[in-house]
Amino acid sequence: MKVSPILENAMLMCKGMSGAIAQSAVWSRRRMRGIEEELEKIRRNGLWRKLTPYRHMGGRHEEVMQQFASNDYLGLANHPSISEAFQEGLSIHGHGATASRLICGTNPAHLLLEESLAERKGTARALTFSSGYAAAMGTIPALLSPSDFILVDKLSHACLIDAAKLSRATLRVFPHNHMGKLRKLLESIRAQHGSKPRILIVTESVFSMDGDLAPLHEIVALKNLHDAWLLVDEAHGFGVFGEQGGGLAEELGLQQDIELQMGTLSKAAGLAGGFIAGSSALIDLLINRARSFIYSTAPPPALAHAALRSVELMGGAEGRELRKRLQKNVSLLRDVPASSKNTPIFPLILGSNESAMEASSRLADAGFIVPAIRYPTVPRNTARLRISVSAAHQESSVHALRDQLKQLASR
Ligand SMILES: *Cc1c(COP(=O)(O)O)cnc(C)c1O
């Protein structure tokens, strides 16, 4: 068959293209095989994670199983007054913020929430972010440049480490709560680099996977001595400690001594969102520099409206009552094998991934949801059960869990 040169050309091109398509399919299969191999490795190491729907985990109201896994320390995630505020917020402000707060104008709901947070934290101002993770990722790189230093407690949350890396400042990790090492690091940086570089010390107040506390008095003294700054992540302290639920810094009377108090609205406050409280100049700097704030759509204003109710509730009489109930529940677990420093977080360290997974599934069989926590959330060979207690737990269920944990330990 005779074809025109144009058609012939087109046919040749098609042939070439189908060759290219076939080639790219081979590459794509190869890439997928690479992913399958990675997944297989995760499985082999006992580190497989999957999403389990609520209804298999007992539902929101613990209808089927007792849930000792959440960070809802005060039981506010299902509190009627906060649900009501959320709906009120929806009817006043609608649901979408539609753009960054710098583009569309700031909804007053966000400003009112920030005023209330600043008051609770004893600072001039506060700034909210869409999550605690975003607060860290925006704040730390906004403050530090590559010629600065950041000293991070070894057990700090992943968002603090990721933010430190993003800042490109020199990252030094000190052993957990090791004040001697922290002092040495501070001394050596000042001796080698003089007074010019900024040094930011980063720690949690209540450590999320160990439930122990940072020695904040000592850290503050060291940071003052060496002219460093301090960021304290109170993700698990906010709402739990302090007369007004301001966190461990409030409890210890240190709110004026900490440059950056970080927190989240997603744990004891029962909602979602993160925040930084600090001086007015610092908040201005974050508004101008924190990329996760500038380049991200504002959280729904209805959420801010509800969070304001939550922060007010935490700070008032009901909050104090809930903290008392929480402490009571914490004290009921005092003699279980898991260690705790009077915080709602009890780690039962079992070592291997398999033993942690097995203990978790044994508890599930008995009707308790207690998560197994594995690497890289915690260091290798320290896989554990993480038991978290809430004011919302019935005393009888805490007793029942205690019995289960004792049985587990005696096996
Ligand atoms: C949960 C958590 C965060 C992140 O907060 P989100 O609001 O959940 O993003 C940060 N730091 C610590 C210590 C946490 O436990």
| Mean pLDDT of the 345-358 span | 93
Rounded to two decimals, the pTM is: 0.90
Expressed in angstroms and rounded, the spacing between residue 197 Cα and the centre of ligand 1 is 28
Expressed in angstroms and rounded, the spacing between residue 276 Cα and the centre of ligand 1 is 12
The answer to whether residues 267 and 73 touch, using CB atoms and an 8 Å cutoff, is: yes
CA distances from 385 to 56, 178, 374, 399 (A): 19, 24, 9, 17
Average pLDDT of every residue of the chain:
92
Confidence at residue 61, expressed as pLDDT on a 0 to 100 scale? 47
Write down the catalytic residue from 208, 296, 310, 388.
208
Expressed in angstroms and rounded, the spacing between residue 132 Cα and the centre of ligand 1 is 5
Highest averaged pLDDT of the listed ranges 141-145, 333-337, 346-350: 141-145
Q: Does domain 58-77+317-409 have CATH number 3.90.1150.10?
A: yes
Write down the catalytic residue from 157, 223, 305, 393.
157
Look at the block and give the residue holding tokens 């600090």.
Answer: 278
**Is pLDDT above 60 for 234?**
yes
Q: Which of 7-11, 75-79, 305-309, 373-377 has the lowest mean pLDDT?
A: 7-11
pLDDT band at 65 (very low <50, low <70, confident <90, very high): confident
Residue 266 CA, closest ligand 1 atom number: 7
CATH number of 80-315: 3.40.640.10
| Buried-exposed string 77-93: b where 16+ CB fall within 10 A, e elsewhere | bebeebeebbeebbeeb
Residue 204 CA, closest ligand 1 atom number: 13
Give residue limits of the domains in the chain. Answer: 58-77+317-409, 80-315
Confidence at residue 60, expressed as pLDDT on a 0 to 100 scale? 47
| Mean pLDDT of the 291-295 span | 98
**Is pLDDT above 80 for 12?**
no
Expressed in angstroms and rounded, the spacing between residue 217 Cα and the centre of ligand 1 is 23
| Mean pLDDT of the 314-318 span | 98
pLDDT band at 208 (very low <50, low <70, confident <90, very high): very high
Percent of the chain with pLDDT strictly greater than 90: 80
**Is pLDDT above 60 for 1?**
no
Confidence at residue 341, expressed as pLDDT on a 0 to 100 scale? 79
Q: Which of 14-28, 135-149, 236-250 has the lowest mean pLDDT?
A: 14-28
Is 251 an annotated catalytic residue?
Answer: no
Is 236 an annotated catalytic residue?
Answer: yes
Percent of the chain with pLDDT strictly greater than 70: 92
Expressed in angstroms and rounded, the spacing between residue 1 Cα and the centre of ligand 1 is 70
pLDDT in tens, 150-183: 999 999 999 999 999 999 999 999 999 999 999 9
Residue nearest to atom 1 of ligand 1 (CA): 235
Look at the block and give the residue holding tokens 């399958």.
Answer: 36
Residues with CB under 6 A from ligand 1: 131-133, 157, 159, 204, 208, 233, 235-236, 264, 266, 274
Residues ≥6 apart with Cβ < 8 Å to 346: 211, 333, 336, 338, 339, 340, 386, 387, 388, 389
Residue 274 CA, closest ligand 1 atom number: 7
| Mean pLDDT of the 263-283 span | 98
Is 267 an annotated catalytic residue?
Answer: yes
Confidence at residue 59, expressed as pLDDT on a 0 to 100 scale? 45
pLDDT in tens, 218-230: 999 999 999 999 9
CA distances from 302 to 72, 108, 245, 255, 276 (A): 20, 11, 22, 29, 20
**Is pLDDT above 80 for 13?**
no
**Is pLDDT above 50 for 62?**
no
Is 208 an annotated catalytic residue?
Answer: yes
Q: Ligand 1 pocket test: pick from 266, 271, 292, 386 the residue with the most ligand atoms within 8 Å of its Cβ.
A: 266
Residue nearest to atom 3 of ligand 1 (CA): 132
